[in-house]
């Protein structure tokens, strides 16, 4: 008799890819080459690779220091960081090397920064009503500018005539202008009635656009410091961008004598405006940022927006810490990245090549990550937190989800766009759907379990209808399964048996054709959180809150181990 060969199982696994948080709020900046994103994540500065999806620490982290502001120069190399404790550092980004460390001299944290065109002068706006100018080449402090009140939201250098000026907007809603040659406050531009969020200089003439949360954009003449025009945009504006020269839109003609700008704010839509007419001439269609009408969120949907010349795209940041990149052609979505994931509730590979990862977090939206870039599609349709996901093993383009909104949904990858869309919605549960499981074979049925203690079977039709309306699914079989809510469901390899685990401390085995009960597995002292059939033996494994794992026979339903 041949000797039985010993099988050595692998015990250690290497991480080949990681999807981790890189943005939890604050400023986001794209590198000039369009290859990386710099952002703050829980007080640390992260660098995210746009094509590879890799997140790294942009700089060395110091214990106890939280970054309050940062600024990368046009050379993609000179980086300035300001910490909450008042420490500022000059870095060489590629080498993560510190060139200089100094105290900001602000009373309180630095809120914003700006470089002049030569990357010689650095301006820092603080929460102490002052702006300070630094010469980072010669390494000394040149100006201490006073005049504004409160926290500075935006500062920038501008050459007006032959002299260099600094403009800054603070909590007093005014735009203050200092002549740096004379160190004098030469003007305070009044016109806004809320926080000024952005200042944009036009290439023609000496004009400036300022936007604010007061729902207007103002056009200024910087030679006379006079207000030329007030343009109502009917939303709180967080960012204003001049329309790129190479931009073209169908049915829109750009006049060379006019000034056009893009606004982004609380409505979650990019819009193009004409300064001469004061009217919106183009509105982004089907913005993925817009929330359903029943949403309770009241803040701005878009918090930042910037033009990325290297990508010929607009990059925006949303209130959910997502970063989206839109083509300048009709503002169609190019890429989407998730800056921060909450608790992971369920996760499944999908797609013919397992090149997608479906993730349910503490959200009504399902995240679909594409490998290797980790660009993400957000699936909207559920009205409450998604709790469970599963994918058909023989039809890996079909995803099933269960949610706290008492429904199940079937999502399908569309061949033309390679994006997922909701195809069917199933109603019938009277409480949260806590578990779903798809069959293993070529058939297309799935099971769902709920806090209403019932187990239901559903069938996904083989022919995909060509309709615009979402179709309804009805369960073809229902059983009162447990005394408490169902935590887990699994279907056997031959699709003949279904196992359920519940908070009532039991697991049960069911006939998959009619949901007749075959056996009850008793022995756990707390709720059963997970059940799984063995792929090779007539056994099922369960895990419980009693800190035990049990293996059961599906022949006589006894505990084997």
- What pLDDT does residue 423 have? 84
Q: Give the Cα separation of 371 and 369 in Å (integer).
A: 7
Q: How many CA atoms lie within 13 A of 172 on its CB side?
A: 15
Band of residue 126 on the pLDDT scale cut at 50, 70, 90:
very high
As given in the structure block, the two tokens for residue 111 are 């809120």
pLDDT interval class at 66 (50, 70, 90): very high
Task: Decide if pLDDT at 548 tops 80.
Answer: yes
Q: Are 271 and 263 in contact (CB under 8 A)?
A: yes
On the question of pLDDT at 362 being above 90, the answer is: no
Of 110, 132, 130, nearest in space to 122 by CA: 132
Tokens of 351: 């797609």
Q: Which residue has the tokens 């073209």?
A: 248
Position 389 scores a pLDDT of: 95
Provide the pLDDT for residue 116.
Answer: 95
**Alpha-carbon distance 489 to 23, whole Å?**
35
Res 323: pLDDT: 94
Q: What is the mean pLDDT of residues 285-298?
A: 82
CB atoms within 10 A of CB 90: 18
- Residue 514 clears pLDDT 60, i.e. is over it: yes
Q: Boundaries of CATH 2.130.10.10 in the chain?
A: 191-340, 344-553
Query: What is d(CA 424, CA 317) in angstroms, rounded to the nearest whole number?
Result: 31
Per-state percent for the chain, helix, strand, coil, to nearest 5: 0, 50, 50
Band (14; pLDDT cuts 50, 70, 90): confident
Which of 27-41, 281-295, 514-528 has the weakest average pLDDT?
A: 281-295
pLDDT of residue 249: 82
Residue 469 has pLDDT above 60, yes or no: no
What is residue 7's predicted lDDT score, i.e. its pLDDT?
64
Q: Which two tokens stand for residue 37?
A: 């994103």
State mean pLDDT over 327-344. 89
Backbone angles phi, psi at 353, to 5 degrees: -105, 15
Find the Cα–Cα–Cα–Cα dihedral 4, 8, 9, 15, rounded to 10°. -150
* Banded pLDDT at 466 (limits 50, 70, 90): low
Q: How far is CA 149 from the centre of its chain?
A: 33
pLDDT, residue 496, reads 92
What is the model's pTM? 0.86
Q: Looking at the domain covering 344-553, what would its CATH class be?
A: mainly beta
With beta carbons less than 8 A apart as the criterion, state whether 363 and 410 touch. Answer: no
pLDDT at 78 over 80: yes
**Closest among 480, 528, 534 to 507, alpha carbons compared:** 528
Does the pLDDT at position 405 exceed 90? yes
Six-digit token string for 279: 């009217």
| 213: alpha, beta or left? (left if phi > 0; alpha if psi -120 to 50) | alpha
What pLDDT, on a 0 to 100 scale, did the predictor assign at position 52? 85
Structure tokens at 80: 């300035």
pLDDT beyond 80 at 459? yes
pLDDT tens readout for residues 186-219: 999 999 999 999 999 998 778 999 999 999 999 9
The predicted pLDDT at position 465 comes to 62
Strands 471-473 and 420-426: parallel
What number of other Cβ atoms are within 10 A of residue 412's Cβ?
Answer: 17
- Average pLDDT of 29-46? 94
Band the pLDDT of 286: cuts 50, 70, 90.
Answer: confident
Out of 2.40.40.20, 2.130.10.10, 1.10.10.60, 3.30.70.1140, select the CATH number for domain 191-340.
2.130.10.10
Predicted local confidence at residue 254, as pLDDT: 86
Look at residue 345 and give its three-state secondary structure: coil
Give the residue carrying structure tokens 């009140």.
Answer: 149
Average pLDDT, the chain: 90
DSSP 492-536: -TTSSEEEEEETTS-EEEEETTT--EEEEE---SS-EEEEEE-SS
Q: What is the pLDDT of residue 488?
A: 95
Task: Give me the mean pLDDT over the 166-190 stretch.
Answer: 94
For residue 90, pLDDT beyond 90? yes
The answer to whether 507 touches 517, Cβ cutoff 8 Å, is: no
Is residue 319 within 8 A of residue 301, CB to CB? The reply is: yes
Phi first, then psi: what are they for 150, rounded to 5°? 95, -160
Residues near 439 by beta carbon (within 8 Å), at least 6 away in sequence: 392, 393, 445, 446, 491, 495, 512
In degrees to the nearest 10, what's the CA dihedral of 252, 258, 264, 267? Answer: -60
pLDDT at 310 over 80: yes
pLDDT greater than 70 at residue 1: no
Q: DSSP of 185-198, one letter per residue?
A: EEEEE---SS-EEE
User: What is the rounded CA–CA span in Å between residue 371 and residue 519?
Assistant: 42
Query: Are the C-beta atoms of residues 183 and 143 closer than 8 Å to each other?
Result: yes
Pick the closest to residue 557 from 536, 544, 542 (CA basis). Answer: 542
Quick one: which of 350, 444, 347 has its CA closest to 396?
350
388, 392, 395, 397 alpha-carbon torsion, rounded to 10°: 10
pLDDT value at position 518? 92
Q: 């349910």: which residue's tokens?
A: 360
Q: How far apart are CA 544 and CA 525, in angstroms?
A: 8
Distance CA 100, CA 80 (A): 10
Classify 477 as helix, strand or coil.
Answer: strand
């Amino acid at each position: 008799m041949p000797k039985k060969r010993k099988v050595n199982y692998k015990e250690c696994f290497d991480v080949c890819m990681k999807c981790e948080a890189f943005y939890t709020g604050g400023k986001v900046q794209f590198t000039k080459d369009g290859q990386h994103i710099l952002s703050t994540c829980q007080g640390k500065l992260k660098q995210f690779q746009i094509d590879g999806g890799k997140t790294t620490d942009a700089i060395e982290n110091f214990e106890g220091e939280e970054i309050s502001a940062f600024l990368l120069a046009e050379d993609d190399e000179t980086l300035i960081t300001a910490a909450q404790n008042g420490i500022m550092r000059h870095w060489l980004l590629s080498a993560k090397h510190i060139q200089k460390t100094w105290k900001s001299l602000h009373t309180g944290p630095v809120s914003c920064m700006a470089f002049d065109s030569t990357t010689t002068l650095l301006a820092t706006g603080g929460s102490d009503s002052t702006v300070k100018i630094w010469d980072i080449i010669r390494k000394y402090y040149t100006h201490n500018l006073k005049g504004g009140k409160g926290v500075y939201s935006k500062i920038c250098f501008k050459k007006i005539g032959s002299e260099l000026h600094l403009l800054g907007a603070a909590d007093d809603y005014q735009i203050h202008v200092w002549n740096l040659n004379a160190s004098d406050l030469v003007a305070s531009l009044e016109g806004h009635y809320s926080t000024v969020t952005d200042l944009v200089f036009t290439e023609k003439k000496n004009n400036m656009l300022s936007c604010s949360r007061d729902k207007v954009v103002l056009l200024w003449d910087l030679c006379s410091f006079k207000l030329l025009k007030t343009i109502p945009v009917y939303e709180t504006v967080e960012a204003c961008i001049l329309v790129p020269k190479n931009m073209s839109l169908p049915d829109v003609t750009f006049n060379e004598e006019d000034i056009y700008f893009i606004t982004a704010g609380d409505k979650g839509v990019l819009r193009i405006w004409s300064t001469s007419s004061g009217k919106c001439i183009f509105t982004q269609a089907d913005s993925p940022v817009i929330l359903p009408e029943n949403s309770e969120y009241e803040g701005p949907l878009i918090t930042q927006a910037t033009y990325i010349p290297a990508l010929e795209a607009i990059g925006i940041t949303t209130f959910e810490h997502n970063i989206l990149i839109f083509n300048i052609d009709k503002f169609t979505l190019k890429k989407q990245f998730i800056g921060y994931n909450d608790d992971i509730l369920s996760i499944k590979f999908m797609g013919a090549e397992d090149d997608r990862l479906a993730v349910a977090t503490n959200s009504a939206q399902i995240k679909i990550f594409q490998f290797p870039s980790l660009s993400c599609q957000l699936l909207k349709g559920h009205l409450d937190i998604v709790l469970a996901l599963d994918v058909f093993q023989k039809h890996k383009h079909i995803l099933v989800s269960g949610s706290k909104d008492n429904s199940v949904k079937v999502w399908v990858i569309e061949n033309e766009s390679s994006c997922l869309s909701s195809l069917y919605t199933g109603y019938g549960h009277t409480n949260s759907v806590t578990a779903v499981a798809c069959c293993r074979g070529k058939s297309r049925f799935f099971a769902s379990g709920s806090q209403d203690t019932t187990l239901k079977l559903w069938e996904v039709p083989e022919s995909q209808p060509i309709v615009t309306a979402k179709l309804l699914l009805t369960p073809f079989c229902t059983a009162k399964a447990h005394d408490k809510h169902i935590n887990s469901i699994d279907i056997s390899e031959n699709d003949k048996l279904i196992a359920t685990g519940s908070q009532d401390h039991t697991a049960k085995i069911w006939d998959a054709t009619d949901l007749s009960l075959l056996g009850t597995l008793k022995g756990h002292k707390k709720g059963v959180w997970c059940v799984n059939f063995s792929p090779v033996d007539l056994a099922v494994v369960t895990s419980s809150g009693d800190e035990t794992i049990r293996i059961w026979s599906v022949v006589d339903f006894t505990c084997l181990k």
